[in-house]
Amino acid sequence: MIYSRNRRLRVNESMRGLVKECSLSTDDFVMPIFVMEGDNKEEAISSMPGIFRRSVDLTVKECKELFSLGVKAVNLYMKVSEDLKDNTGKEAWNKNGLMQNTIKAIKDAVPEMIIMPDVALDPYSIYGHDGIIENGKVINDATNDALARMSVSHAEAGADIVAPSDMMDGRVLAIREALEQSGFHDVGILSYAAKYASSFYGPFRSALDSAPKDDLEIPKDKKTYQMDFHNSREALNEVYKDVEEGADIIMIKPGLPYLDIVAKVREAIDLPIAVYNVSGEYAMLKAAAQNGWLDNDKAIIESLTCFKRAGADMIFTYAAKEAAILLNK
Ligand code: PBG
């Protein structure tokens, strides 16, 4: 009817503030961090402008800075040297491995930082797969045993929440049981429940040198465990199973092309939902901004806010630090 004018509530910033349906805060951010061996070392990742691989000492320094900006959670990824890789991924549960040492160092320096190590075998695998390979296939249950050992070793080092990103069936239960048996009742599980086989992971795989190896004997991609991007009902099946197995937080990944999945899962469950604004999404935004085709700051704040609108509670994003600086202005 004619007297209904939607523009009334958009007249100025204060009015728009009153009717805002969601908001973005540094509380929502989880910063993914790439770590490598060495001292005082930092290497830029060319396809991800502004993102670096750093040695443990510089990683700790970065965590202090992030915490002071209000970013209170980090998700850790290791660049593992080739000589430590094998098919079992056993370096992943080395008590003195790079991951374990990084967790300890961050906990020591910034005790309130929430530490979420990635749990998956790909950075440790000679094949670049998230699981153990037998007869040319990624095998599920033996991989779960490895992921459970890896999770316990992260917990021993001081992790707050382990984040399995591998997409094996039943791994949430395997990890939960192992954590309980080792007395880590309070260490949570953030499960990548709906993780798709996506081309948007490219820059991440080059950052860690973790892409599936080009070898006729092994699967050339991750489609036998990560989800098919044609599907959305299947995401709910994945989510319900992980909730039943004891996940504390549910992840959907990638992010921006998958907001329909975030909204659908939000309707279906009441656990906290995380979304991953992945490396390829970050690279696209940066490439456009560097060419002057997009306003970097506005595009970052808009896309991160859209995750909140879709129903996510927390956002894994390489733009966390930049966005925190913008929000603190
Ligand atoms: C692997 C893992 C990947 C990412 C996080 N954990 C890549 C993959 O599944 O191949 C991608 C993150 C990103 O692209 O930012 N377990």
195 is catalytic: yes
Measure 252 CA to ligand 1 centroid, in angstroms: 12
Whether residue 4 lies inside any domain: the answer is no
- CATH code for position 194: 3.20.20.70
| R_g (Cα) of the chain, nearest Å | 20
Q: Residue 179 is encoded by which pair of tokens?
A: 């954590």
Whether residue 201 lies inside any domain: the answer is yes
Whether residue 76 lies inside any domain: the answer is yes
95 is catalytic: no
Whether residue 11 lies inside any domain: the answer is no
Smallest CA-to-CA distance from 62 within 97, 39, 33 is with: 33
Q: What is the pLDDT along the chain (329 residues), one digit of tens a residue?
A: 688 999 999 999 999 999 999 999 999 999 999 999 999 999 999 999 999 999 999 999 999 999 999 999 999 999 999 999 999 999 999 999 999 999 999 999 999 999 999 999 999 999 999 999 999 999 999 999 999 999 999 999 999 999 999 999 999 999 999 999 999 999 999 999 999 999 999 999 989 888 998 887 899 999 999 999 999 999 999 999 999 999 999 999 999 999 999 999 999 999 999 999 999 999 999 999 999 999 999 999 999 999 999 999 999 999 999 999 999 99
Whether residue 214 lies inside any domain: the answer is yes
How far CA 311 is from CA of 48, 142, 199, 251, 280, in Å, comes to 26, 35, 24, 12, 22
In terms of residue numbers, what domain contains 192? 21-328
Whether residue 6 lies inside any domain: the answer is no
Report the C-alpha gap between 277 and 257 in whole angstroms: 10
Q: Residues 134-148: pLDDT tens digits?
A: 999 999 999 999 999
Provide the CB-side half-sphere exposure for 70 (13 A, CA).
15
Q: Residue 139 is encoded by which pair of tokens?
A: 């095998």
192 within ligand 1 shell (Cβ under 6 A): no
Number of residues assigned to the chain: 329
Predicted TM-score (pTM) of this structure: 0.97
Report the C-alpha gap between 329 and 211 in whole angstroms: 38
- ipTM of the predicted structure? 0.97
Whether residue 12 lies inside any domain: the answer is no
Whether residue 293 lies inside any domain: the answer is yes
196 within ligand 1 shell (Cβ under 6 A): no
Give me the number of domains the chain comprises: 1
Measure 255 CA to ligand 1 centroid, in angstroms: 12
- By most ligand atoms within 8 Å of CB, the mutation choice from 33, 47, 122, 256 for ligand 1 is 122
